[in-house]
Structure formats: structure tokens, C-alpha cells
Structure 1
Amino acid sequence: MNSLPDRFRLWFEHERDSNAKTLAMLESVPEDQRPSPDYRKALDRMGHIVAARRRWLFRLAGTPDVEGIFPTGAEIGSLRNDVVEMERLWIEYLTGLDDVELQRELEWVAINGKRYRWNVEGALTQMYGHAFYHRGQIAQTVAQLGGKSVDTDYIYWMNLEPLAPA
């Protein structure tokens, strides 16, 4: 079995693939549906995924912070660029991830103004669940708007081979 730091790196590779698929889903929405409030909300959700990742990286590694984690008015082209930059920064951080870093205690002030403390392992785990949740919302919206939704579940990304019948 891979070490925990290696698993976080693997899970981020899955997330990168899922981000690309989510952007493609958003681009598949028919042009006549793109002015709709639901499409705008789906774009903003993708922007939120990116902004939240950037905020956590600011907390973890001191990279430049974002203005807010609930951006509005996102456009597909700028989202694509934002995803590329966010992923670049995360690859840089995760390259040095080790067991000592995973246990490091992190303190921050949340958007509700309250202070929290958690270890890096917990924060990284939160981010993966957070992205799964919002990608599911985006996929559902894309399908409702007539676009092509894609399953980004980890099990499909792993491309498991079925066992031979017993």
C-alpha cells in the first residue's frame, strides 16, 4: 500500500482529471442555456472549488490568498486558467508532502471569524470531500441544462479490471 503522502498525491491526480472533466461538462452546455441562472451558478461553483483550494494552500504554505472563496461572475476561459494555476501550486506543495507535514498543526481564522486548529491531514481530507460534493452538484446542473455530464467517481478513474466469473 502507498504511504499516506503518496495517497494524497494520487488523489490529487484524480482531482486534476476530474477538474478537466468538469470544465468539459460546463463547456458542453448548449449555448442557449448558458445565460441561465443555473449555468451561472454552476460556473461559480467551479470557481468556488478553485478559490477554496487556493485559500487552503494560503493557510498551509503561505501562497498568495484569494479575495474570497465564493466568487461570482466566473467565465469558462478564466476558470480554465485559474484551475491550471491552482493545480500548479498544489503539485508544488504536494511534492514535498511527508508524514511530518501531515501531522503539523494548522491554525486559521475561518470566514465566520472563528479560530480553528487542525492537522494538515484533516485539512487535505476535507478538500477532497469538498471538491467531490461540488462536482456532483455541477454534473447534475449540466445534465439538467442539456449538457453532457460525466461520472468523476474515483472508482471509474482507477479503471479497475473486473474479476473473472467464479
Structure 2
Amino acid sequence: MSPQIITLIIVLAICVAAFILLYFQGKRNMKKRDEQQAAIDQAAQWVNMLIIDKKKLRMKQSGLPQQVIDQTPKFARLAKVPVVKAKVGPQIMVLIADNQIYDQIPVKKEVKASVSGLFISDVRGLRGPLEKPEKKKPGFFARLTGQK
């Protein structure tokens, strides 16, 4: 056998092993995520709140308690987090919103939100339905590839 064929076989074997490893790692991560989501849903409470402001900020700039920042992994501190500043009862709180509902949260309006600790998992309009966010036009690469 020639050296090129042996090298090709070794590279293919490494690629197959990497795909198998990633597959099982993804299954394990999905299982963990489902367990965490079940725990969040179990501890959730519906609360009336007035949304003051919402932004995507880094963890250090978010205004969250230092204990929360210390508990987050190092790589997650670099990512931007959807932060919502809201008046819950008489006090103003800084909460973290779910990425999927962040665009639905209206600013300067009163909403009923499902809150689990400092995490907002669902939002409903207190006086009528919430407005749907406008669809963003596709970016340059999305148009090139034909995605919608």
C-alpha cells in the first residue's frame, strides 16, 4: 500500500471517531438540558412585573449579584446574556431572560412572567396579547445560501 492511502485511512478513522464522540456527547448534553428545564418549570412562579429596560450584556456588566457571576463557568462569562430590568412589586430587580422569549418582552409595559429564581422563562401580556416581534430580514450569507 502506498503512504497516501494509509494516511487517508488514518484520517478517515479519526474523523469517524470524532463524529461518534460528538454524537454521544450531544445526547448527554440534551439529557442534562431536559433535566434542568424540568427543574426550572417545577420551581417557576407567575409574577406581575413592569419591564423597565432590556439589553444584552456581558455577565460582569449585567448588574447581577456577585454570587451569580461567581457560579457561572468561565467560558459563559464572556458571552452576552439577555438581561431584563423590571419592577417586581415595590423593588427593582435584574433578571435573566430566555433567549427564545427575549424579543417578545415589551419595554415600558406591564407583563405577567414565569420566573424561576432570576430566570424569566415565559411572558404573557397582562392587558391583552403581546405584540409579535418583526421578522428580521435575512443577512448576506443567509441570502447567499438560500436560507430563510
TM-score (norm 1): 0.24
- Ranked by relative contact order (alpha carbons within 8 Å, sequence separation 6 or more), the top structure is 1
Q: Higher helix share goes to which structure?
A: 1
Q: Which has the larger radius of gyration?
A: 2
TM-score (norm 2): 0.26
